[in-house]
């Protein structure tokens, strides 16, 4: 909470740095795991530490196309006799003959009797006589068995989200399947009599329900299963029925709209009756109102209705909650310093997430400008942006030329 000395704080507003850890304390990681084939592991979260069963690479192999030989043999002559071939997947199986070499390709096993590879561009071939020009040091161009990992070394840690690189790493160590945490299910719906689903005509006073689609996009980024319950009218019984269906079938119930002070907003009233919900007023802009609690066995998050507010609160609050529930450790936020190129008007009191474009100026330094009008209903400001400028709670007007904190949109928001 804010100290009494902060004259411009709205009473009851909580700084997100205080509120978010309190919210995170109230959710637990799932313990349920399942085994999935590697081909279906993308985006999933590892439920166990994995060690390599193999040395990596599993055998000494060449990093170049060229000739493998024993460096000491060059003491007698730089010209060696070709004894055979080692191709990728087809090792040389002959005996060692003093003064010999084998033709070798990238990735092919380096025969045990040899210790060095010379790239072919630095050799001369005359029939079966190969001259090594300006040889490198012993071991040159040989990728040694176990140089990346030894059998038994830990490769991936429990709680790692499997991305493209991890897919490859898992295959490298021969893992055809992998134990991951169960996928969470998030049920979501929009509330508001003014909202119409896309594909229908708008009557006067109506708008399309956009939040359900930005939320759907965010849920897909979060790699959860979802249950889309559509638009629910501002009608107490319809909202009650939707909450019941959602909480019976999901780990998290997510709604947008109806958490601020509004005449036709029944959400609060019904949540009070059906679950244990707290209405948080967070010192962030956009996004002040946020409802959180338990609805049956499900976690409930009520996002504000304004389209930018709902995305920002999802990004700052719901995403970390989902990540914890999925079994991920706390994810660091990438924050950079950049020079602001346009002035920003701001009242002290809330942390502001201004939608922004981060780039480099001609001198190669990071610069950032806002995307223009920052109304919390203007979703195009999110679409134009590649980052947030984050202005601290007590910051006021910020002139061009100021150095500001910028959080680039990660994969989560793009
Ligand atoms: P509320 O939080 O319900 O008071 O809504 C705040 C503002 O966001 C109002 O202008 C609503 O029309 C708008 N709004 C609420 N839900 C949505 C939605 N799902 N899609 C687009 N706009 C919405
Ligand atoms: Mg509403």
pTM assigned to the model: 0.91
Percent of the chain, pLDDT > 90?
88
pLDDT 10s digits, 233-244: 888 899 999 999
Task: Enumerate residues with CB within 5 Å of ligand 2 (an ion).
Answer: 192, 257-258, 305
Closest C-alpha to 226, from 241, 211, 239, 216: 216
Ligand 1 binding pocket includes 313 (Cβ within 6 Å): no
Whether 269 and 236 have beta carbons less than 8 Å apart is answered as: yes
Q: Set out the domains of the chain in order of their start, with CATH numbers.
A: 7-32+184-326 (3.40.980.10), 33-56+147-181 (3.90.105.10), 61-143 (2.170.190.11), 336-413 (2.40.340.10)
Whether ligand 1 lies within 6 angstroms of the CB of 289 is answered as: no
141 lines ligand 1 (CB under 6 A): no
Contact 132, 104 (CB under 8 A): no
- Is there an atom of ligand 1 within 6 Å of 192 CB? yes
Nearest atom in ligand 1 to 259's CA: 2
The rounded Å distance from CA 308 to ligand 1 centre is: 10
Ligand 1 contact, 194 CB (< 6 A): yes
Q: What is the mean pLDDT of the chain?
A: 94
pLDDT at 50 over 70: yes
Per-residue model confidence (pLDDT) at position 7: 40
Give the closest residue to 287 by CA, choosing from 200, 354, 357, 359: 354
- The token pair that represents 169 in the structure block: 């790493």
pLDDT-based confidence at residue 167 (cuts at 50, 70, 90): very high
What confidence tier does 3 reach under pLDDT thresholds 50, 70, 90? very low
CA nearest neighbour of 24 among 319, 265, 260, 281: 319
pLDDT value, residue 4: 40
Each residue's pLDDT tens digit, 105-159: 999 999 999 999 999 999 999 999 999 999 999 999 999 999 999 999 999 999 9
Mean pLDDT of 351-365: 97
**How far apart, in whole angstroms, are the C-alpha atoms of residue 90 and residue 105?**
10
Closest listed residue to residue 146, CA positions, set 59, 242, 75, 276: 59
> Number of helices and strands (H, E) in the chain?
8, 26
Q: Which helix H or strand E contains 217, and what residues bound it? A: helix 211-222
- Find the angle CA(319)-CA(287)-CA(372) to the nearest 5 degrees: 105
Tokens linked to 143? 């990728």
What per-residue confidence (pLDDT) applies to 267? 78
Give the position of tokens 């009650």. 240
Q: Under DSSP, is residue 100 helix (H, G, I), strand (E, B) or coil?
A: strand
Per-residue confidence band for 10, with pLDDT thresholds at 50, 70 and 90: low
How far does the centroid of ligand 1 lie from the alpha carbon of residue 127, in Å? 80
Average pLDDT, integer, range 341-350: 97
Average pLDDT on 8-36 reads: 90
Ligand 2 centroid from CA 266, angstroms: 9
């Amino acid at each position: 909470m804010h100290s009494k000395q902060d004259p411009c704080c709205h009473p009851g507003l909580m700084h997100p740095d205080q509120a978010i850890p309190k919210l995170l304390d109230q959710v637990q990681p799932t313990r349920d795991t399942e085994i999935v084939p590697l081909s279906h592991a993308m985006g999933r979260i590892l439920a166990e530490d994995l060690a390599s069963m193999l040395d990596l690479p599993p055998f000494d192999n060449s990093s170049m196309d060229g000739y493998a030989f024993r460096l000491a043999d060059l003491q007698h002559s730089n010209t060696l006799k070709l004894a055979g071939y080692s191709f990728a997947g087809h090792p040389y199986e002959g005996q060692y003959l003093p003064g010999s070499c084998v033709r070798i390709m990238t990735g092919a096993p380096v025969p045990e009797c040899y210790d060095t590879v010379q790239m072919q561009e630095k050799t001369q071939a005359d029939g079966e006589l190969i001259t090594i020009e300006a040889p490198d040091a012993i071991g040159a161009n040989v990728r040694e068995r176990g140089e990346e990992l030894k059998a038994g070394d830990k490769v991936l840690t429990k709680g790692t989200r499997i991305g493209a690189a991890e897919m490859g790493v898992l295959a490298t160590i021969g893992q055809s399947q992998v134990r991951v945490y169960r996928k969470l299910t998030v049920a979501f719906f929009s509330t508001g009599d003014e909202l119409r689903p896309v594909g229908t005509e708008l009557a006067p006073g109506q708008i399309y329900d956009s939040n359900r689609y930005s939320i759907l996009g965010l849920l897909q980024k979060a790699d959860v299963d979802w249950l889309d319950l559509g638009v629910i009218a501002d009608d107490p019984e319809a909202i009650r029925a939707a909450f019941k269906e959602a909480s019976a079938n999901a780990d998290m119930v997510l709604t947008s709209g109806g958490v601020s002070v509004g005449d036709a907003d029944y959400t609060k009233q019904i949540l009070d009756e059906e679950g244990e919900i707290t209405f948080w007023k967070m010192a962030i802009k956009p996004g002040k109102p946020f409802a959180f609690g338990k609805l049956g066995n499900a976690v409930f998050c009520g996002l504000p209705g304004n389209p930018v507010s709902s995305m920002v609160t999802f990004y700052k609050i719901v995403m970390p909650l989902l990540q914890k529930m999925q079994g991920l450790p706390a994810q660091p936020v990438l924050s950079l310093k950049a020079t602001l190129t346009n002035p920003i008007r701001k009242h002290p009191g809330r942390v502001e997430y201004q939608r922004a474009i981060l780039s480099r100026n001609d001198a190669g330094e990071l610069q950032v400008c806002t995307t223009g009008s920052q109304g919390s209903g203007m979703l195009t400001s999110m679409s134009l942006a590649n980052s947030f400028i984050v202005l601290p709670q007590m910051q006021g007007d910020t002139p061009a030329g100021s150095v500001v904190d910028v959080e680039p949109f990660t994969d989560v928001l793009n």
